[in-house]
Amino acid sequence: MSLKITLIGAGSVVFAKNLLSDILQFPELSDATICLMDIDPARLKVAEIMAKRIVATLKVKAKVVGTLNQREAVRGARYVICTIQVGGYKPGTVIDFEIPRKYGLLQTIGDTLGVGGVFRALRTIPVINGIARDIAEVGAPDCLLLNYTNPMAMNCTAVARAVGIPHVGLCHSVQGTSQLLASMAGLPYEDVTYKVAGINHMAFFLKFEYKGQDAYPLLFAMDKPGFMPGFAAEKVRFEMMRRTGYFVTESSEHQSEYVPYFIHHGKKVINQFDIPIDEYLRRCEAIIGTWEKTEAALLGGKEGITVNAQSHEYGSFIIHSRETNTPRVIYGNVPNRNLIDNLPEGACVEVPCLVDAQGIQPTHVGALPPQLAALCQSNINVQDLTVAAALTKRREHIYHAVMLDPHTATVLTLDKIWAMCDELIAEHQKHGLLGDFAPTIPGTGRAWRGTGDRILAEARIEEALLKPGAKRGKNSLIAEVTISNPRPKAEKIELQLAAAPLKGSSDRSVSLKVSIPANGKVTRKVALPFGGSLAEGVEIRISSASPDVFMRGHVARPRTILTPEFGKGLASFELKLAGFPAGKGTIGANKDVLSLRVAVDDSKLTPAGRPWEGSGLELFFAPLDGSFVRQFFVLFQRGGKRAILTDPSLNPIDQSTTRLLPSRSGAGYEIELEIPFATAGLEVGTKSFLFNLYAHLAALGDAHSGGLTSLSGRFNSHFDTSHFPRVELVDSK
């Protein structure tokens, strides 16, 4: 049985012509069966005519067959060459460029990294993995996939992780750049040797030598203004060589969008480095024109076809070496299995590979220079997350991949990245280029399922029951249960509720069965057995057998009591912010006024005309029954050298006295306040009342950001007096 070589994506006629010409010029391969497969019948017909004319021109015995059936194309093949472009120029590539451009994101090629590379991978990976699965199931037992399709690293990583068949990713950047450097340096190519490693399109010439000598001095000598005008297109690569010390394999237009140093800095930098924006669109249109001419020539006449000398593409050499046991070294994209020490295991890396009858044998490179490994890692982050999105169908990883792209991150804010990705996903799905992804919570990087679709059940004691003297049922408490259903369909759930002392167990639980409408909310009141004292604290416990319900109970702790130390007449308190000490103070009475002294460790005292726009205090006073609350603000003015007390309408309280004192700690402020009992809503001489205080800090010390701290430790309800501390202006005995 003759050797079967299958070309999938044969409609890429120009590239297919070169590959087939390369293969059939080896005598040992000249009688192979060449199977051409494409999804476009018209392109496949042209490819078949082209292949048969190559056979006729070379006068070889190869057999050419064509098929639209991928599985049949793969069946029995020993080699499958992949040159597909999923989505084509239109609509695929056009979508990749036009939508990002609306958001101000410019691209040059957009097929390997960046937002264009991400979405090209998302639409390609399912197809190339389908090819790999067919190879695993119906290909020859030792079938090798030769992939030429970009984004190379993402596609190869996906094949390795999802299917695991033998494969190698092939590019011509190493061969092309080595010849370019030799030409630029004026060196005979046959006398140049090199060693390259990294990732596809971001591999580096670790060695570039002429007859055993380091030839980098020649490259650095050329790196100056006005050097060799014919190579002006390589300004980006020479700039990166200057900064990193090594020359990168892929072209300057590619390189400019793999790093954050060029395009985003505007027209001046773009012009300085001759970066061709939208270059891939121009190339695609030129290729389409070439294909149309090729099609017309092949279909319109019966003359022969010109077969060029073998190119530097690796595909034919790999097949020949494997079939004839002829050792060769090629540069292949393969999984990192102890190849590059300081890049992640399993990442797709580009390294030298020995090829012979044993197949592709990558060589161990060791560690890259750390700056090169770091640049590669910035690209690998995007590759890994894109592959994760494609293989798991988790939509959030699409956003994650794009937000970590070095170029995109310099141009767009996170909200614009999210909006751009949403638009790109919708447009791809509209054209059938992407399947469904598991939804996320809108505007977030979390999956909807398990988070955004959870039913929320919350149980609380009715606030009225927590007020002093409140009446409740004999041996029972009334809990208010609120259940929210974010799902697009009605749900039925069962909850178990119980009331228990803080340091004890509940008497028994009560079952509650509820139907919640789609996107709806219901509230129920439930009587819970409870024989304890509210003054000692109570916990409402809630549970469910369903993992789809998030449950939050309610803890009513004993009210904090602020009592003066014996003989001092002042009750002291402390403030904390995120667990750190943030301030302290005292409260007492002097005849008909309440006196407060508050020291706050706000190291960035920031005056503000309105509450919470800068530094400030908020005070609350209430009688023991909590029947009303008086609220006051302390605002700082005049560069923080003056403070005033205001009512909720921000009118100054004339009867009060406010003194701003030097901070004893030197990193904040200290303030004294005198507020008449009547102003606070309390009878003169009252010894017991409810009090709460909030402090807003611009900064806490020299290493912590600011925030809001509360004396009660709660912020969710300003006027919920159930958690206000109680002040007892009676000396402790």
Distance CA 686, CA 694 (A): 23
User: Which residues share a beta bridge with 577?
Assistant: 580
Closest to 689 in 3D by CA, of 569, 572, 588: 588
Distance CA 92, CA 506 (A): 62
Distance CA 101, CA 123 (A): 20
Helix/strand/coil for 10:
coil
Helix/strand/coil for 37:
strand
Residues listed for the chain? 733
Helix/strand/coil for 623:
coil
Asked if 495 contacts 544 with a C-beta cutoff of 8 angstroms, the reply is yes
Give Cβ neighbours of residue 441 (< 8 Å, ≥ 6 apart).
Answer: 447, 448, 451, 452
| 3-state secondary structure string across 625-668 | CCCCCEEEEEEEEHHHCEEEEECCCCCECCCCEEEEECCCCCCC
Which tokens is 19 given?
A: 């590959």
User: What Å distances lie between residue 671 and 46, 622, 634, CA to CA?
Assistant: 87, 22, 10
Helix 235-244 to helix 370-392 angle, to the nearest 10 degrees? 120
CB burial class (10 A; 0-12, 13-18, 19+) of residue 716? exposed
Distance in angstroms between the alpha carbons of the first and the last residue of the chain: 105
Backbone angles phi, psi at 486, to 5 degrees: -85, 0
Closest to 438 in 3D by CA, of 486, 404, 402, 388: 388
Asked if 77 contacts 97 with a C-beta cutoff of 8 angstroms, the reply is no
Distance CA 643, CA 203 (A): 62
Instruction: State how beta strands 4-8 and 79-82 pair.
Output: parallel
Distance CA 258, CA 404 (A): 11
For the chain, the farthest-separated pair of C-alpha atoms sits apart, in whole angstroms, at 117
Distance CA 52, CA 48 (A): 6
Asked if 156 contacts 163 with a C-beta cutoff of 8 angstroms, the reply is no
Would you list the DSSP string of 179-190? HHHHHHHT--GG
- State the catalytic residue, choosing from 167, 172, 364, 704: 172
Name the amino acid, one letter, at 216.
Answer: Y
Closest to 203 in 3D by CA, of 171, 170, 250: 250
User: What Å distances lie between residue 536 and 501, 539, 560, CA to CA?
Assistant: 7, 10, 11
Give Cβ neighbours of residue 190 (< 8 Å, ≥ 6 apart).
Answer: none
Going along 74-162, which residue ranges are E strands?
A: 79-82, 144-147
| 3-state secondary structure string across 682-726 | CCCCCCEEEEEEEEEEEEECCCEEEEEEECCCCCCCCCCHHHCCE
Tokens 């469910």 found at: 544
Q: Is 723 a catalytic residue?
A: no
CB burial class (10 A; 0-12, 13-18, 19+) of residue 651? exposed
Name the amino acid, one letter, at 703.
Answer: A
Distance CA 50, CA 446 (A): 50
User: What Å distances lie between residue 387 and 81, 282, 383, CA to CA?
Assistant: 21, 28, 6
Other CB atoms within a 10 A radius of the CB of residue 670 amount to 18
User: What Å distances lie between residue 469 and 535, 627, 683, 722, CA to CA?
Assistant: 11, 12, 19, 12
List residues with catalytic annotation: 172
